[in-house]
A and B are shown apart, each in its own frame.
Chain A
Amino acid sequence: MRDESVSVTDATQASTRDFAAWEPGRAETIATALAHLPGACLPILHELQDEFGYIHQDAIPIVAEALNLSRAEVVGVVSFYHDFRQAPPGEHVVRICRGEACQSMGGEALVEHLETSLATKLGDTTSDGAISLSAAYCLGNCALSPAMMVDDRLHGRVTPERATGLLATIA
């Protein structure tokens, strides 16, 4: 279910997940456009990932060049942060909270349920490429545990049945 119908002063619409195919020229444009920012490396990597869905290996020298860094430094940043992907994600990204608050309400059982029903593991993508499953360490929905996020949309009090229902809506 999309929430376009609710435009009432809600400036927090979720972004679409239609990623562009890798294109070095476009990556260069992005890197050059943001290179003037102080500490530009993370903003550039985020922008690249928003555009292409992941950080293509050929983006590394482009970012390094734009920021006058070594390739090793850029690889270091990409690999340090959990968010930056080095391979294309599934069509949808499902993040399950593994924080303590969610654990207290059956969060680990939810993880098992999703791993089993999707036949994949945390950190992996389903074989049909539909869903990437990953762990989050707190989604900030701790009063409505357990929580999971489907793309940018947060869900609370997620029972295994509700999780199955939510995944059916994006399948």
Chain B
Amino acid sequence: MSTTIYVPLDSAARSVGADEVATAIAREAGRRGLNVNLMRNGSRGLFWLEPMVEVVIGSDRIAYGPVRGEDVAGLFDAGLLEGNAHSLRLGRTNEIPLLARQQRFTFSRCGIIDPLSLDAYVAHGGYEGLRRALALTPSAVVDEITASGLRGRGGAGFPTGLKWRTVLEAPADQKYIACNADEGDSGTYADRMIMEGDPFSLIEGMTIAGYATGATQGYIYIRSEYPSAFRSMARAVEIARAAGYLGALVAGTDLAFDIDVRLGAGAYICGEETSMLESLEGKKGLVRFRPPLPAIDGLFGKPTVVNNVLSLATAAPIMQHGAKAYAEAGTGRSRGTAVIQLAGNVRRGGLFEVPFGLTLREAIFDLGGGTATGRPLRAVQVGGSLGAYFPDELLDTPIDYEAMAAAGGMLGHGGIVVFDDTVDLAKQARFAMEFCAIESCGKCTPCRIGSQRGVEVIDRIIAGEQRDANLQLLDDLLEVMLDTSLCGLGGLTPYPVRSAVQHFPEDFDRAVPLKQEA
């Protein structure tokens, strides 16, 4: 009889040695003549425990972690295959407290199954959502998504059902589903985890979106910084197609839907939806004017649903369990689950899918355990590179779209980057401007030129040159960028900059004047 052992193949788990652990387990089992069925799964998202090894004992999975290659022989000595005690033993995976308190909806399978096993996907509820959707009219599917309260997970939080309705009602000979997998914001990795850990859920969600809106072709635009996600997604599409889940007659019905997986080329701006459409069309990723909305005039001029990976992947369990099951979680107008990604200087960095409404403080301290360095927390950037920096006083803000906006920030894609007291917010503000300058598509002046001038003005403030006048100038510049930029890059770069100045003014007043001003 063989014992099944799971070792994640998620690229973050591999980045700290999961492959070495898998190799060591295979070698050790061979040396001892033990029969081990070594499986690779996605990650559960508990990255401080990666590489996390799980042994299947009866109907349980027993976790050990973080395991290093050199721990493996000792684990076998202790009776790894029987799930025996060891200093790295974490107990039953399901009962690991920080996993047990999550409400996994979008990530229900991630880290549990072999990501590229369609059989495992179906055995864990996969394609039940599509089956249920196909029994309804397209309009009823859109109603179900609307009733769930699902909002765009890419950052903007636009109601997904409303977007699908617009595309459904737009008359056209061809419509598209364009999945935005250009997850460029620092602090976020949830899309990558789904694409590496449960790629069929995205395929199923896109197929549901295709049926609901009348689109027959889907594209997944994946950033080139995610080579593993690209390979696993492309392979999953081939497998789904070979099994009849994509193509002319999806799942034995007369529904036609197929997917093409495309690779980005290192442009942050291509995460902006119209820039992504331009890139998919084979052009420079220049942002488009809106209107027209992509839902009316999108990819190749056709009505197009542009949704983030998580929005689409969540459509499948919503159709499977019903809108009510999803909408019951959450708070106010933020229904369902928030996919929180703790990142940076945090002791327990990882992905936590929990109902909306937890406060930042609860997330960072209860889930994350505070800073990794053990030094006092000083700032938190929420919502990616264009998100605001929050000081300690604002950490009681609940994690939902409206509350974050009211606090002068945005939830974005759910990334929370923690900084300890060694951070210099003037440097971070300068970086935000520098980043905008590097990544600007160049189409509109406030972003293209404003960001350059922004770097220069902040440099002068840091140097102590006419500090007050330059702070005023910076404020004016931020106002212009905010109000007149064509898209979110120039329009949101003011968030990290302004919040840094507002909450951490002392960091902008550190210069020791070298010469007296005349």
- Chain A residues packing against B (C-beta within 8 Å): 1, 3, 5-6, 8-14, 37-43, 45-46, 67, 73, 76-77, 80-84, 95, 97, 99-105, 136-145, 147, 149, 152-157
User: Is residue B403 contacting chain A, with contact meaning CB distance below 8 A?
Assistant: no
Report the Cα distance A100→B417, complex, angstroms: 7
| A105 and B189 form a contact (CB under 8 A) | no
| B16 and A99 form a contact (CB under 8 A) | no
Residue on B with the closest CB to A45? B265
Candidates B231, B279, B344; contact of A101 at CB < 8 Å: B344
Q: How far is the CB of A136 from chain B (nearest CB, A)?
A: 6
Knowing A42-B265, A101-B417, the reply to whether A142 touches B187 (Cβ < 8 A) is yes
Q: How many B residues touch A, CB cutoff 8 Å?
A: 78
| Residues of chain A lying within 8 A (CB to CB) of residue B431 | 100, 103
Report the Cα distance A102→B419, complex, angstroms: 10
User: Is residue B97 contacting chain A, with contact meaning CB distance below 8 A?
Assistant: no
Output the residue of B20, B186, B342, B349 with the most chain A CB within 10 A. B186
| B15 and A144 form a contact (CB under 8 A) | yes
Q: How far is the CB of A38 from chain B (nearest CB, A)?
A: 7
Candidates B50, B188, B264; contact of A140 at CB < 8 Å: B188
| B11 and A141 form a contact (CB under 8 A) | yes
- Chain B residues packing against A (C-beta within 8 Å): 9, 11-12, 14-16, 19-20, 22-23, 26, 38-40, 47-48, 50, 114, 116-117, 183-189, 192, 196, 224-229, 231-232, 235, 260, 262-268, 279-285, 300, 341-346, 349-351, 372, 381, 385, 415, 417-420, 423, 428, 431, 435, 438-439, 441
Q: How far is the CB of A148 from chain B (nearest CB, A)?
A: 9
| Residues of chain A lying within 8 A (CB to CB) of residue B439 | 137
Report the Cα distance A8→B439, complex, angstroms: 39
| B385 and A83 form a contact (CB under 8 A) | no
Q: How far is the CB of A63 from chain B (nearest CB, A)?
A: 10
Knowing A8-B26, A39-B280, A145-B344, the reply to whether A100 touches B15 (Cβ < 8 A) is no
| Residues of chain B lying within 8 A (CB to CB) of residue A6 | 19, 22-23, 26, 40
Report the Cα distance A140→B280, complex, angstroms: 22
Residue on A with the closest CB to B263? A46
The 4 closest A-B CB pairs, nearest first, are: A99-B186, A143-B349, A41-B282, A142-B343
Question: 9 A-B residue contacts at CB 8 Å?
Answer: A6-B40, A42-B282, A43-B263, A77-B282, A137-B186, A138-B183, A144-B16, A145-B343, A156-B12
Q: How far is the CB of B399 from chain A (nearest CB, A)?
A: 17
Q: How far is the CB of A99 from chain B (nearest CB, A)?
A: 3
Knowing A142-B344, A142-B415, the reply to whether A100 touches B385 (Cβ < 8 A) is yes
Report the Cα distance A143→B265, complex, angstroms: 24
Candidates A8, A42, A136, A141; contact of B279 at CB < 8 Å: A42
| A142 and B372 form a contact (CB under 8 A) | no
Report the Cα distance A1→B435, complex, angstroms: 34
| A142 and B225 form a contact (CB under 8 A) | no
| Residues of chain A lying within 8 A (CB to CB) of residue B11 | 12, 140-141, 154
| Residues of chain B lying within 8 A (CB to CB) of residue A77 | 282-284
| Residues of chain B lying within 8 A (CB to CB) of residue A101 | 186-187, 343-344, 415, 417
Candidates B224, B231, B342; contact of A143 at CB < 8 Å: B342
Output the residue of B19, B263, B265, B280 with the most chain A CB within 10 A. B265
Output the residue of B224, B232, B262, B266 with the most chain A CB within 10 A. B266
| A80 and B284 form a contact (CB under 8 A) | yes
Q: How far is the CB of B69 from chain A (nearest CB, A)?
A: 10
Candidates B23, B183, B228, B262; contact of A154 at CB < 8 Å: B228
Q: How far is the CB of A7 from chain B (nearest CB, A)?
A: 10
| Residues of chain B lying within 8 A (CB to CB) of residue A102 | 186, 344
Knowing A104-B345, A154-B14, A156-B16, the reply to whether A81 touches B265 (Cβ < 8 A) is yes
Knowing A140-B225, A145-B343, the reply to whether A8 touches B184 (Cβ < 8 A) is no
Knowing A10-B9, A42-B262, A145-B344, the reply to whether A140 touches B19 (Cβ < 8 A) is no
Q: Assuming A6-B23, A99-B187, A141-B12, what are 8 further A-B pairs, CB within 8 angstroms?
A: A8-B26, A76-B284, A77-B283, A81-B284, A142-B415, A143-B189, A144-B12, A156-B15
| B344 and A104 form a contact (CB under 8 A) | yes
Q: How far is the CB of B439 from chain A (nearest CB, A)?
A: 7
| A157 and B16 form a contact (CB under 8 A) | yes
Knowing A12-B228, A67-B282, the reply to whether A140 touches B189 (Cβ < 8 A) is yes
Q: How far is the CB of B422 from chain A (nearest CB, A)?
A: 9
| B14 and A8 form a contact (CB under 8 A) | no
| B349 and A12 form a contact (CB under 8 A) | no
| B349 and A142 form a contact (CB under 8 A) | yes
